[in-house]
């Protein structure tokens, strides 16, 4: 970035190439040319091999001017999407916009992002989907374009941040649905050409031609997850149906081939709940006795299971009430259980801090969702003989006592800041959910 902006008058003539191309496009557009004429204009001004370095030229302009020009370019490109021959121009425009956004400061407002998202939607629908039924070179180029589309979507997510509206997030979600559909079509094509029989996918393997496609799909699903976390309760029914149908197709493909899918990169998901390898010191693995095999395999499996429980609990807390004796200990909370692990054994003994933090968050979610039931039903009695019948109310009372013991034990000894915060949150819910007159 520094080398690009430090010599604004060298090589490409400073800002002139970019401004000349965009001003010419604006002037010609005033006369409302036909889509085919506009398509030829875009090809001549922006995609000709003789064109100067437009990206370097744009880098010396103000962020506001670059953003305005990028939006205008996206609007014009979306207009020509139905034209014959647009399948080579649209990816070229996408590549230009991608490079400009990567190498310059670009300011785009909400309405501008909507125009850019409309262009991406048309691009994926018209150009990339068509390439999926063509030759290998066309499909490879299509995958590169998809990658650039996803990077532009990441720019939009970071730029809009928490201020993004339902409309903006819905547009992003629609583009991601199309991208994942295209990636699935590519996997279907590869599967047919190679023949069935692949029983597993080894991440990072050089012999796996599909690794990049799977990594892109996993990354896209991560972005879908982020959006659904923001707007799941407010999106339209048809958009929900599109998401569910997409998930069904992908799951059918995976299960039919008995595939094991795991991303070979931790890429755009710095805050991903599944990222066990983050360098964030606040969530690092400081226990020296943890072996790599456990850290990245069994610990990851425990984390995934814990997150599933957490999601179920948040969606329907009552569905887990009868399962509390399986998920939480009724006795000996400070003892490791080799064959019958609980959320508390994960919280106390797991070698990976992220697993412990999510275990605490899950326990807090369980307590929060069932606070009223616990205060009305749970009661504590001295442990009965092993094997004797115990009512659910007594089981819940014993569980609450064990939670108090385990949480207080950890609070007195734990030094990790993030885990301590999670423990105090558990304690707050635990105190509010405990029927003190009956339990103590």
Q: Give 119-136 pLDDT, tens digit per residue.
A: 999 999 876 556 555 666
pLDDT tier at 72, thresholds 50, 70, 90:
very high
Count of all residues that appear for the chain in the document: 440
What pLDDT does 239 receive? 92
pLDDT of residue 397: 78
Average pLDDT over residues 228-232: 84
Residue 206 has pLDDT above 70, yes or no: no
According to the model, what pLDDT value does residue 71 have?
94
What is the model's pLDDT at position 203?
A: 42
Inter-residue long-range contacts of 244-253, CB under 8 Å, 24+ positions, other chains counted: 246/177, 246/180, 246/181, 249/181, 249/184, 250/180, 250/184, 250/217, 253/184, 253/187, 253/188
Smallest Cα–Cα separation from 108: which of 64, 151, 74, 75?
64
Q: Report percent pLDDT > 90 for the chain.
A: 22
Reported confidence tier of residue 255, pLDDT bands at 50, 70, 90:
confident
pLDDT tens-digit readout, 282-311: 344 444 344 444 444 577 788 888 998 888
Q: Which two tokens stand for residue 1?
A: 């970035």
Average pLDDT, the chain: 77
Structure-block tokens of residue 365: 């979610």
Q: Average of pLDDT values for 130-149?
A: 75
Look at 26-40, 76-90, 145-159, 327-341 and tell me which has the smallest mean pLDDT: 327-341
CB 273 within 8 A of CB 307: yes
Q: Is a pLDDT exceeding 60 seen at residue 83?
A: yes
- What whole-number distance in Å separates Cα of residue 173 and Cα of residue 132? 21
Residue 407, both tokens: 């949480």
Concatenate the DSSP letters of all residues of 151-176 into one string: HHHHHHHHHHGGG--HHHHHHHHHHH
Beta strands in 121-254 (DSSP E): none
pLDDT at 187: 85
Q: Name the 3-class secondary structure at 316.
A: coil
Of residues 48 and 249, the one with the higher pLDDT is 249
Enter the tokens of residue 296. 């990245």
Exposed / middle / buried, residue 220 (Cβ in 10 Å: 0-12, 13-18, 19+): buried
Q: How confident is the model at residue 258 (pLDDT cuts 50, 70, 90)?
A: low
């Amino acid at each position: 970035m520094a080398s690009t902006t430090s010599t604004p008058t060298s090589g490409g003539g400073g800002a002139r190439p970019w401004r000349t191309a965009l001003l010419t496009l604006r002037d010609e557009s005033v006369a409302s040319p036909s889509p085919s004429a506009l398509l030829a204009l875009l090809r001549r001004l922006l995609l000709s091999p003789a064109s100067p370095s437009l990206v370097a030229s744009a880098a010396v302009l103000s962020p506001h001017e670059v953003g305005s020009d990028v939006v205008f370019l996206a609007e014009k490109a979306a207009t020509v999407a139905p034209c014959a021959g647009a399948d080579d121009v649209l990816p070229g425009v996408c590549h230009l916009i991608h490079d400009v956004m990567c190498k310059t400061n670009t300011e785009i407002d909400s309405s501008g992002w909507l125009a850019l998202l409309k262009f991406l939607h048309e691009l994926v629908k018209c150009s990339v989907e068509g390439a999926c039924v063509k030759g290998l070179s066309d499909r490879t180029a299509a995958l590169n374009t998809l990658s650039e589309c996803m990077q532009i979507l990441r720019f939009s997510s970071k730029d809009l941040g928490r201020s993004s509206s339902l409309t903006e997030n819905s547009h992003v979600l629609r583009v991601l649905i199309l991208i994942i559909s295209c990636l699935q079509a590519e996997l279907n094509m590869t599967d047919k050409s190679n023949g069935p029989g692949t029983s597993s996918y080894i991440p990072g393997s050089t012999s796996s031609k599909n690794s990049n496609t799977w990594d892109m799909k996993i990354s896209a699903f991560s972005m879908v997850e982020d959006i659904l976390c923001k707007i799941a309760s407010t999106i339209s029914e048809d958009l929900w149906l599109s998401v569910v149908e997409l998930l069904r197709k992908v799951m059918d493909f995976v299960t039919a081939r008995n595939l094991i899918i795991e991303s070979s990169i931790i890429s755009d998901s710095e805050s991903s709940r599944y990222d066990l390898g983050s360098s964030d010191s606040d969530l690092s693995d400081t226990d020296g006795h943890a072996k790599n095999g456990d850290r990245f395999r069994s610990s990851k499996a425990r984390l995934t299971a814990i997150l599933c429980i957490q999601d179920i609990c948040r969606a329907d807390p009552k569905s887990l009430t009868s399962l509390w004796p399986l998920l939480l200990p009724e006795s000996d909370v400070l003892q490791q259980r080799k064959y019958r692990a609980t959320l508390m054994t994960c919280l106390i003994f797991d070698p990976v801090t992220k697993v412990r933090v999510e275990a605490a968050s899950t326990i807090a979610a369980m307590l929060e969702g069932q606070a009223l039931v616990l205060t009305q039903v749970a009661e504590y009695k001295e442990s009965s003989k092993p094997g004797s019948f115990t009512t659910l109310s007594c089981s819940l009372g014993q569980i609450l006592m064990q939670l108090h013991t385990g949480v207080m034990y950890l609070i007195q000894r734990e030094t990790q800041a993030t885990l301590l915060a999670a423990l105090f949150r558990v304690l707050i819910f635990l105190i509010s959910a405990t029927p003190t007159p009956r339990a103590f």
